[in-house]
Amino acid sequence: MALSRELRTILLTGFMGAGKSTVGALLAQRLGWEFLDADAAVEARVGKSVASIFAEDGEAAFRALEAEAIRDHAQRERLVLALGGGALETESTREVLAGLNGAGVIFLDAPLEALVARCLAQPQAAERPVLADHEGLRRRFEARLPHYRNAHVTVSTNGMEPEQVADEILDALELRNDGIRTR
């Protein structure tokens, strides 16, 4: 995946607990752009929570809604979009990302153990029953890694505060010294 020199959209990917939503909001604020979480876009579209969609309609139905939301928003300008942790498992989502012009895909990377610890520390940890299945979680993580690693930029978040991660992304994209133009 080649990174365009004219950046209009930043898409954050990574496993649950990577900091996509937190870092995404910080990046958007620093750039003066809009922030959107793909899960929130899906919830707004169908009027129910991600957990409800999974429980009532299944993961495949959620992934189809997620792919549609990403397709609808990823072409927007001056947007930081946080993708769901499993978004890249869907081929149609990967195709959308591969066809984007002016977008930078950033993988927020950390060891699985650190990601799980972050998730367990969140107030909504009870909404993620997948956290109790450690072996299943490891399998999901390992299956997603090859897709995550196709991002334009990888930023290690282990042991870093969200502000530091945002700084790393801005540096990696050369947005602090305007090496890449933003619209």
| Lowest mean pLDDT, pick from 74-83, 115-124, 141-150 | 115-124
**180: part of which helix (H) or strand (E)?**
none
**pLDDT, tens digit, 9 for 90 and up, residues 22-64:** 999 999 999 999 999 999 999 999 999 988 898 899 889 999 9
Split into its structural domains, the chain has a count of: 1
Query: Taking each helix axis from N to C terminus, what angle separates 59-73 and 38-46, rounded to the nearest 10 degrees?
Result: 110
Read off the pTM. Answer: 0.88
Asked if residue 180 is part of any domain, the answer here is: no
DSSP state of 117: H
Q: Which CATH number characterizes residue 98's domain?
A: 3.40.50.300
The answer to whether residues 128 and 16 touch, using CB atoms and an 8 Å cutoff, is yes
Which residue range forms the structural domain that includes residue 76?
A: 6-175
Work out the pLDDT band at 124, boundaries 50, 70, 90. Answer: low
Residue 141 falls inside a structural domain = yes
